[in-house]
Amino acid sequence: MERFDTYTYSIDTTDYSPISTTQASPSRLSPTASMPITSSSNELLSGLSHDLFSKLQPSLRSVFLSAEQYLYMQDDRLDYVYFPETAVVSEFRTLDDGRMVEVSLTGHEGAVGFLPLFCHSRVTNCTQVSQAGSAIRIESEILSKMLRLYPELGNALAPQVDQYVRQISQRSICNMYHSVKERLCTWLLLAQDRSGKQTMKLTHEQIARILGVYRPSVTCIALEMRKKKLINYSRGGLSICDREKLEESACTCYHELAPAY
């Protein structure tokens, strides 16, 4: 069966480079990287009251997240919390033998690194950028302090915790019971919703890692989907050609995980 068609992937730690406005190449940073921001397209931040946003504003920084860049590795001490804008970030759970599967996907609707902040714990899973783009980040210690000072900030950001737990729960069901093709369709829809891009930079290898399957399985399914004109892909990336048909081919998890769209 397709879902047992697993493959061993290892994390290349040479790619592990937590971004920093001081360490990253200037070309990777937005022009406002060293300056406090005035607004954000991240829905959690834009949904804050003016008063709450103004309290956070001096500590918020705009950064560029590169494709396939690791933000955290498993058991890392939390350094920053990220609020993606155009970037899309994947969280992976890994086994000791290197096998891994994506357990959550976050874009402009949420935040990354939020749960450890409440638990005062280390990062549970490794986290990698799936689609390059912009994000707003804040030092975790500062945000933690702000949450203690202003309980209303915790109330405003709490829906992210609920959203995160719901996604983890749904993905565990999805990974167990739904076919690779259904999961691929669902993931493509979720990723496009979050990235807002018509064409996403994706490789079969990357999709296989996300779904926790052999790359040839992805290639075979993607070929079939391209023949049916659901998607198209080239070296430039992958685009969704017929969203309606893709939704019909996706599992019900898509609608469970995309209530805001």
Q: Which stretch binds Zn ion (CB under 5 A): 15-23, 76-84, 103-111, 249-257?
A: 249-257
Sheet with 231-234: list strands edge to edge.
199-200, 237-240, 231-234
Paired tokens of 51: 């008063």
Q: Which is nearer to Zn ion, 143 or 251 (CB)?
A: 251
By the rule CB under 5 A, 210 interacts with Zn ion: no
Q: Which is nearer to Zn ion, 85 or 193 (CB)?
A: 193
Among 105, 246, 253, 257, binds Zn ion (CB under 5 A): 253
Among 178, 181, 204, 209, binds Zn ion (CB under 5 A): 178
Subset of 117-176 contacting Zn ion (CB under 5 A): 174
Subset of 57-116 contacting Zn ion (CB under 5 A): none
CB of 220 to Zn ion, least distance (A): 19
Q: Which is nearer to Zn ion, 100 or 251 (CB)?
A: 251
Q: Which stretch binds Zn ion (CB under 5 A): 45-53, 97-105, 138-146, 178-186?
A: 178-186
Q: Which is nearer to Zn ion, 41 or 179 (CB)?
A: 179
CB of 178 to Zn ion, least distance (A): 4
By the rule CB under 5 A, 185 interacts with Zn ion: no
CB of 4 to Zn ion, least distance (A): 16
User: Which residues sit at the interface with Zn ion, rule CB under 5 A?
Assistant: 174, 178, 251, 253
